[in-house]
Each structure stands twice: as structure tokens, then as C-alpha cells.
Chains A and B, each alone.
Chain A
Amino acid sequence: MSKYYTFKIKRYLPDENPSTRWDEFRVKLNSMERVLDGLIKIKETMDGTLTFRKSCAHGVCGSCAMKINGQNRLACQTLVKDLPEIIEIEPLPALPVIKDLVVDMTMFFHKNDKVLPYLINEEPPPERERIQSPEDQHKILESITCIMCGSCTTSCPVFWADKEYLGPSALLKAYRFLFDTRDRATEQRLEAITGEHGVWRCHSIFNCVEVCPKEIDITKHILKLKRLAVKKGFTGGEK
């Protein structure tokens, strides 16, 4: 069953014009097709200059996060049949736009670097695997499913106001290692996330939870980080 949809897309083509504009395209799509399929159809048959990122096309690589009808979502995971006939598409908010729906994610990824995003354990490794109970592995289970698409951080009002704020994605990454029984850098990492732009800035607004395409309850993880920080005496607090 096919149907026509109107894609209203916020365009920015800096080589042509320094200002943004809205373009409209009418696209016929069937009930199995996704917003990404619509964008590809537009690029292939109507306007080859339309620019967006894509790769896996099934919600695992995190390339195609964008704002669809007011909400950050993955274009490849959003079926058009679940949307109204008019589909409004913008780049992810609060990041510099490079072109059309492509944003510069440097700032977003850079936040991650600040939380020591790698397992740190300098003890000599055992001959076999480090033992970790299934229960302990479950503690980090949700956090390891993050695909770094940027939907959460760019939907966070705290980030909109304070671009230095670590944001939900980087904090989730901190959680992933702080709660991994194999990691040994608890103090260092808590130090890194409890500064002025760190974990205390989260006001449990839940936008991140609402938009996460992997349905991670990010706010819950941040609350656990706060609890751990208090327990370990990292109460630096908001300045």
C-alpha cells in the first residue's frame, strides 16, 4: 500500500547560499518504508544536492539521527506509516550545520573523550578471561547498547544552554565503565564527571530518554552516577 508524503526539509547549502530555506518534496512510499528511504528517493530522483548521512540503515550504526517532526530520531528506524502525511525534517539541533541534514559532531564526540572512555585496568591480566558474573554484566547491559547517534545530547535543554555540559551520551559512557567490575579508574572518572559541567547539571528532564532510539533509560543511569559520586565523596556540586 503506497501513499504520498510531503517531506518538508530544512536546507542549508553553504556553497550556494549562506542562509537556510525549506524545500518541499512529494514522495510516494509504501507502508514498510522509512524516512531514510524517502530521503534517498528524493536524492535519487528529485534533487541530488540533498545531503544526509547514512550507512547501516537498520538502527545500529547511528549515522542518520535527525529531527523528524520535532523529535530527534534515526531516519532508518522511523517508518513513514507511523507519521502524518507531512514530514518535517531538520538537522539535529544545537550543533553547527555543515550542510542540509549533516551536522558537525566534533563537539559531541569530544565530550566523550573527557570521561576516559576506555577500560582502565593496569593489573596484570589473568591467563583466561576476567571473571564477571551475569548479574554484574547486566549492570552495564543497557549502557553498552549506545550507538552514539547524538539524539540524546542534542535534545537536552541543559546542553542547549551550556555547550560545555558533558551531556547524557558522555555520562552514559562514564557509567558504562564506572559500573564495569573490571575497571579500576573509579576515582579518576568520577573526578572527570563531577566538575562544573558534569553530572550535577542533569536536572532529570528526560528528553534523552524520550528520544533514545535504543530505548536506554539514560536518566536512570545518570542518577546512579550521582549516587556513586556522593558515596565516594565527589560532591563538588554545581558552582
Chain B
Amino acid sequence: MEINRHYFDTVIIGSGLAGCRAAIECINHGTVGVLSKLYPTRSHSTAAQGGIGAALGNEEEDSPEWHTYDTVKGSDFLGDQDAIEIMCYDAIPTIIELEHMGVPFSRTPEGKIAQRRFGGHTREFGKAPVRRACYSADRTGHAVLFALYEQCQLKGVRFFQEFQVLDIVVENNAVQGIIAVNIKDGSLHVFESKAVIIASGGYGKVFKVTSNAYASTGECLSMLFRQGLPLEDMEFFQFHPTGLYGLGILITEGARGEGGILINGKGERFMERYAPTIKDLAPRDMVSRAILTEIREGRGIDGKDYVYLDLRHVDRKILEERLPEITTFCKIYMGIDPSEAPIPVVPTAHYAMGGIPTDNDGRVLRDIDGSVVEGLYAAGECACVSVHGANRLGCNSLLDTVVFGRRAGKAASSTLKTATKGKVKKERISLIADCLDMIRKSNGRETVASVRRDLQSAMMDKCSVFRKEEELKVLLDELQALKERYKDISIADKSNTFNTDLLEAIELGHMLTLSEVIASCALQRTESRGAHCREDYTKRDDENWLKHTFAFQGDKGITFKYKPVKLTRFKPEERKY
């Protein structure tokens, strides 16, 4: 077996916003190799629409202090306040820096970066919505990703596109490097390094209806978990209120920021009942629950399982200038013009608040006591700092990627002088090669597609917006059965060249692991907080649950530890909008 060996001071997994931003930092201090299973600009960051938050105050008075408060409250007080403060204050220079790098932001009449309203972002600690989301029409992720990737090119970052990571090698509490396959020809590659930054994005594909890309399968998280490292707050998964009905395609919260409202089957603007002050611009967890409550109580459109997002009263010019992309989606996929007809929407799995636990500089934690894995970093959606706590506010995810991508890059670079080069042992490579071979030669009775379909349906039915004990227990049994079925798969494509059949089988194995973690964490947390809504424990329980979940792979199944939330300025209070 021929192995291709590479060395880079820093290896980055993922070329979305967090990965590219980290690379820009690292390339000033050493060599950088970035791996992506796609072509870099195809990363899912490109699908982010509405905006990136920063209290620039370009359109009206704003302050990073208000931003901090909103984020803490949005997180249902589970976010770590020291980290949130860093993010919200760092936001301003970070966005300015993005502009200097070339991001083509939309502009105010004076030529400054334009800003709009977004869910849960308010002035003066909750008094009224504020214009905080900096945007480039409704293609903000695309605009930022291209600019960052372009800067990486300018600075000479080396990209390995269409390389799938198979293993992140952690030994003796230090990262040694990674093992990957070049999708194009099936060749194995080992990347040794002093530092590895994981920026691999989310894992919405564990759910049936999602705004996430096919690539969002979360294997890097599972790779760490299987080696005994913890995952944090995995029970918190955000459902975006407005996914296109039947497809799950995202319709940005910016649509409501520009004046869109939600209406039920009786023609009522129902958010007035759930969030009297900021109504349709309430945080996503609340709006998603409100929509599903309306549907459950028979007030969906014609009694069916969707509601309308109504933009008919919004000036057509605003739709054309600020929301052109979602207007096009409606036309292409639903055959409707949003200025003439309301858009059928339903919540769609959107964003993982939980992930790889890190400190405020992206260092990966290996326990609740703050001890770290030497040389290993994580940033972006795959990481849990935690700045989003139990529920992320819109336009804070792009912000998280660039603020913490940059910080992780800085932290990784600062250790290069003293760090030792990682060493990936031959045995480990053989193990991975054998694994790959075994799946390639598999000859069972199950297909990847059928196991995956059943997994996605089970997670959607029993672990999405509303959860309860009986269902979660049934789900965990179903997941065990699915894991058994997975052992009996076969794949049709036995070739080396661009074998997506093989890669999908690998991804599915990791999706099963992650799903079990999500469901187990959800079962443990006997309270309702943010996106985690237990129908059998409907109240938030600060006395027992104001703490982060750390899930570990034990010998006899998943074990849990809990870490206190960092509270600084804001005491938990009832969350009303």
C-alpha cells in the first residue's frame, strides 16, 4: 500500500469561513495545508444568507454591550458570558477587517456597510429590534467565503480539494496529524503537523428535513468522540423557522428583518401572541415552536402542516435588492413570486449549537476541568465555545466562524516555535486502510441509502423541536438497531476513482454515532431550554441544569459530565420577548 506523506506546520480541516479565516492567520507564521471534501468555495458557509452581526451602529445607535446581552438571553443563559463578550466586542474590528479584505457588503446611502434587523437582536436590552446584521443582499455567506478564500490564494495557502478526512490522530493527549483519502483516485494521504484546526462545519444531515448541504455530516466530531474525547451540549440543535415547505431550503430570517410576517391558517399574525414586543423577530427556537404549535392545534394553512411567510406587503424593490436569492428560490422551487403570493414554510434542521468543546482560543478541551489536547483546535459550527448556548441568534454564526477562526489560528500559530512535529504511526494508517478496504469489499444485505433514510426519519420524528422521554428511549433502541443494520451493509462501487458510494458509507457510520450522542444528551437533560424542548419537562430548571453537558464514549455506552456555565454580567432571568 502506497502512502503519500505531507508535512505542514498547521493542517486545517474544512475550507468554509472558519477554516479560511484561520488559514489567513496561520500562513503568516508557517506552512498551512487546508483539506476540504469539496472544492473550497462549495463549503456550506456559502449558503448563509441574511447577515453577520456586529454593533457597528451604521444605521442606528447600537453597542456591543447590547449585542452581548441579546446573545446571552438568546442562548437561554447557557452561553458562556466571557466568550460571548469576546465575540460581540471582537465583532466590530473583525467585520471591518473583512471589508478591508474585499467582502462586497451592501451599502448605506453614505457608503457604509448596510445593516438590517434580525431575530433576537435588540436595542437597550430588549426594548425594540435593532439593525445589526451586516449583509451582502441575501448572499452574505457567499460574499464572505469568496473574499476569505481569495485572500488565502493571495497569501499562498495550499488547498487539498476533494480530500476526505478519515482519521484525526490523537495520541498521548496530543494531535499527531490526520489521515485522508484523495477522492479523485482513492489514494491515502497522511498529513503530519504541529497543529490541527478542525473547521468542518455542521451535521444537519442527521435529520430528514434540513437546510444543510449533503456534505454536512459531522464525521470529524465523531472521530474525536470515538477516541474518548468529549462532545459538548449535543442536545441543542436549532431548527430554523422558515424552511421552504417540502424541501427544507432556507428562507433567511432577513426576510422577516425586512418586514415579512408569519401567518397561520386563520390569517392571524400569530407571533404577536408568543412574543408581543418583537413578534416575528423573536429568536428561532421560539418561532419554530410557535409555528409547530399552530400546526398541531389545527391552525396550519388549510389545516395542513405548514404556515405562510408573507412578504406581499414588502416593497418589491426591497425584495429585488436585498432578498433576490430567496425570491429566486421561491420562483424556481415553489413556482411562486413572493411579492404576489405567501411562501409556505415549516421549520428545518439548521444549526448545531453543540460540538467539540473549546476554550476561548479554540483549544480543544478533553475534560470539564479545562485540560486540552495539545495542538488540537476547533472553530465554527463544529466547535462549542460556547457562545450560542441553548439557542443561537441569527447572524451570530458567521460572526462565530470569523472571530473564533481567527483566534484559533492565532493560538495555533503562537505555539509553533516550541511545538513538536506530530507523528502518525504505521499501525494507525494500516488500521484506517483496512477499514476502508472492509467497507469497499462489504457484501451485506443492507444499503447505505436505506439505513440513512431510516436514521434521518427517526431523528426527525423523535428528536427534533419537541422531545419526550418515551420517544427518546424508543429512538435510542432504534439507533441500536440501525447500528446493527449498518454492520450488514454493502456498497455497489468497488472502485478507487471518485468513489462517493464508499464515502457515503463512511459518513453514515459517523452520523449514527453522532445521532446516538444527540439523543442520549437530549434524554439526560430533564428541562426545557432554548432549542431543547422537553414536553415532559416544560420549564427551564436553573437550579439543576444551568450547566453544559459533556458526553464521553465509555466502555459501556455514553457517559456524562457537567461543566458550570460562565456567568459574568447577566443573571439568568425569564426569557420574554
Is the CB–CB distance between B493 and A144 below 8 Å?
no
Binary interface encoding of chain B residues 482-501 relative to chain A, with 1 for a CB under 8 A from any of its CBs, else 0: 00000000011101111111
Is the CB–CB distance between B447 and A48 below 8 Å?
yes
Smallest Cβ-Cβ distance to B501: which chain A residue: A48
Assuming the A-B contacts A54-B214, A134-B107, are A182 and B449 also in contact, with contact meaning beta carbons closer than 8 angstroms in the complex?
no
Assuming the A-B contacts A15-B495, A49-B501, A98-B498, are A131 and B154 also in contact, with contact meaning beta carbons closer than 8 angstroms in the complex?
no
Is the CB–CB distance between B333 and A56 below 8 Å?
no
Smallest Cβ-Cβ distance to B150: which chain A residue: A118
Give the segment of A58-66, A151-159, A204-212, A228-236 that binds chain B: A58-66
Ordered by A's residue number, 23 sampled pairs between the chains whose C-beta atoms are within 8 Å are A15-B495, A43-B449, A49-B501, A51-B498, A51-B500, A55-B38, A55-B42, A56-B46, A59-B332, A61-B44, A61-B46, A63-B39, A79-B333, A100-B498, A117-B153, A118-B102, A128-B96, A130-B99, A130-B100, A133-B109, A140-B104, A147-B142, A180-B102
Does residue B369 face the partner (Cβ distance < 8 Å to A)? no
Does residue B112 face the partner (Cβ distance < 8 Å to A)? yes
Does residue B444 face the partner (Cβ distance < 8 Å to A)? no
Interface residue tally for chain B (C-beta within 8 Å): 60
Assuming the A-B contacts A61-B38, A131-B110, A148-B41, are A182 and B102 also in contact, with contact meaning beta carbons closer than 8 angstroms in the complex?
yes
Choice from B106, B215, B246, B491 contacting A48 with Cβ under 8 Å: B491
Is the CB–CB distance between A62 and B99 below 8 Å?
no
Smallest Cβ-Cβ distance to B110: which chain A residue: A131
Write out the residue numbers on chain B whose beta carbons fall within 8 Å of the beta carbon of A58: 47, 247, 249, 329, 333
Assuming the A-B contacts A49-B492, A54-B214, A58-B249, are A119 and B47 also in contact, with contact meaning beta carbons closer than 8 angstroms in the complex?
no
Does residue A14 face the partner (Cβ distance < 8 Å to B)? yes
Is the CB–CB distance between A144 and B325 below 8 Å?
no
Residue from A44, A58, A63, A148 with most neighbouring chain B CB atoms (10 Å)? A58
Assuming the A-B contacts A55-B214, A113-B153, A134-B111, are A60 and B184 also in contact, with contact meaning beta carbons closer than 8 angstroms in the complex?
no
Instruction: Give Cα A140 to B449, complex, Å.
Output: 42
B162 CB → nearest A CB, Å = 9
Is the CB–CB distance between A45 and B495 below 8 Å?
no
Is the CB–CB distance between B213 and A99 below 8 Å?
no
Residue from A59, A60, A99, A182 with most neighbouring chain B CB atoms (10 Å)? A60
Consensus secondary structure, chain A interface: loop
Choice from B101, B136, B249, B500 contacting A119 with Cβ under 8 Å: B101
Does residue A47 face the partner (Cβ distance < 8 Å to B)? yes
Smallest Cβ-Cβ distance to B98: which chain A residue: A129
Is the CB–CB distance between B497 and A99 below 8 Å?
yes
Write out the residue numbers on chain A whose beta carbons fall within 8 Å of the beta carbon of B143: 144
B330 CB → nearest A CB, Å = 11
Is the CB–CB distance between A145 and B139 below 8 Å?
yes
Smallest Cβ-Cβ distance to B114: which chain A residue: A134
Write out the residue numbers on chain B whose beta carbons fall within 8 Å of the beta carbon of A183: 102
Instruction: Give Cα A140 to B143, complex, Å.
Output: 12
Does residue B94 face the partner (Cβ distance < 8 Å to A)? no
Does residue B191 face the partner (Cβ distance < 8 Å to A)? no
Is the CB–CB distance between B96 and A144 below 8 Å?
no
Does residue B113 face the partner (Cβ distance < 8 Å to A)? yes
Is the CB–CB distance between A133 and B107 below 8 Å?
yes
Instruction: Give Cα A125 to B136, complex, Å.
Output: 21
Binary interface encoding of chain A residues 20-31 relative to chain B, with 1 for a CB under 8 A from any of its CBs, else 0: 000000000000
Binary interface encoding of chain A residues 35-53 relative to chain B, with 1 for a CB under 8 A from any of its CBs, else 0: 0000000011101110110
Residue from A43, A100, A119, A121 with most neighbouring chain B CB atoms (10 Å)? A119
Smallest Cβ-Cβ distance to A49: which chain B residue: B493
Is the CB–CB distance between B332 and A56 below 8 Å?
no
Write out the residue numbers on chain B whose beta carbons fall within 8 Å of the beta carbon of A180: 102, 104
Does residue B151 face the partner (Cβ distance < 8 Å to A)? yes
Assuming the A-B contacts A32-B246, A48-B492, are A60 and B447 also in contact, with contact meaning beta carbons closer than 8 angstroms in the complex?
no
Choice from B107, B136, B142 contacting A60 with Cβ under 8 Å: B142
Write out the residue numbers on chain A whose beta carbons fall within 8 Å of the beta carbon of B113: 129
A175 CB → nearest B CB, Å = 13
Is the CB–CB distance between A16 and B495 below 8 Å?
yes
Instruction: Give Cα A182 to B100, complex, Å.
Output: 9
A97 CB → nearest B CB, Å = 10
Write out the residue numbers on chain A whose beta carbons fall within 8 Å of the beta carbon of B139: 60, 144-145
Is the CB–CB distance between B107 and A117 below 8 Å?
no
Assuming the A-B contacts A55-B44, A57-B213, A98-B184, are A119 and B150 also in contact, with contact meaning beta carbons closer than 8 angstroms in the complex?
yes
B493 CB → nearest A CB, Å = 4
Does residue B188 face the partner (Cβ distance < 8 Å to A)? no
Which chain A residues numbered 92 to 140 have a C-beta less than 8 Å away from chain B? 98-100, 102, 104-105, 109, 113, 117-121, 125, 127-134, 136-137, 140
Is the CB–CB distance between A105 and B39 below 8 Å?
yes
Smallest Cβ-Cβ distance to A45: which chain B residue: B449
Write out the residue numbers on chain B whose beta carbons fall within 8 Å of the beta carbon of A109: 39
A46 CB → nearest B CB, Å = 9
Instruction: Give Cα A62 to B112, complex, Å.
Output: 30
Does residue A71 face the partner (Cβ distance < 8 Å to B)? no
Write out the residue numbers on chain B whose beta carbons fall within 8 Å of the beta carbon of A121: 100
Is the CB–CB distance between A117 and B38 below 8 Å?
no
Instruction: Give Cα A109 to B150, complex, Å.
Output: 12
